[in-house]
Amino acid sequence: MRFGIRARLTLVLALVGLLVAGLTGFYAYHVSRSLLVQSSQNELLLSTQVLARRIALTRQEVSRNLMVLASHPAAQTSLQAHSAVAQAQLATLFKVLMAANPAYLQIRLISAQDHGLERVRVDRDSGTLQEVTGEDLQEKGHFAYVSETLKLAYGETYLSPIAINHEQGSHAGLDRPTLQLATPVSDANGKALGLLVINLDLDGMFALLSADLPEDFALYLANHRGDYLIHPDSTKAFGFDRGHRVLVQEEFTATAALVDQRAENLVLQADQGPHAFAPLLAAFVGRPVLANSEETRLILGLARPLESVLKQTDQLGRTIVQIVILVSLACALLAVLVARALTRPINSMIAAVHRFSNDNKVLPLPVERSDEIGTLARSFARMQGQIRKQMDDLHDSREELEHLAQHDMLTELPNRRMFMDRLKQAIARAQRTEEDFALLFIDVDNFKNFNDSLGHAAGDAVLKTVALRLASNTRKVDTVARLGGDEFVVMIDNFSERNLIAAFTEKLLVALKAPMEFEGHTLCVEFSIGISQFPEDGSTAEEVINNADRAMYRTKAGGRNGYRFTSDANTQPNLL
- Residues with a catalytic annotation lie at 486
Max distance between CA atoms of the chain, in angstroms, equals 114
Amino acid present at 276: A
**Listed residue (206, 263, 320) closest to 45, CA to CA:** 263
The rounded distance, in Å, linking the Cα atoms of 488 and 415 is 9
The rounded distance, in Å, linking the Cα atoms of 571 and 502 is 15
CA dihedral 130, 136, 141, 147 (to 10 degrees): 10
b/e per residue 160-189 (b: at least 16 CB within 10 A): bebbbbeeeebbbbbeebbbbbbbbbbeee
**Listed residue (408, 182, 221) closest to 299, CA to CA:** 221
Q: Are 339 and 17 in contact (CB under 8 A)?
A: no
Q: Are 178 and 163 in contact (CB under 8 A)?
A: yes
Amino acid present at 358: N
101 DSSP 8-state letter: -
In Å, what is the CA distance from 185 to each residue of 119, 151, 300? 13, 11, 32
How would you write 527-558 as a 3-class SS string?
A: EEEEEEEECCCCCCHHHHHHHHHHHHHHHHHC
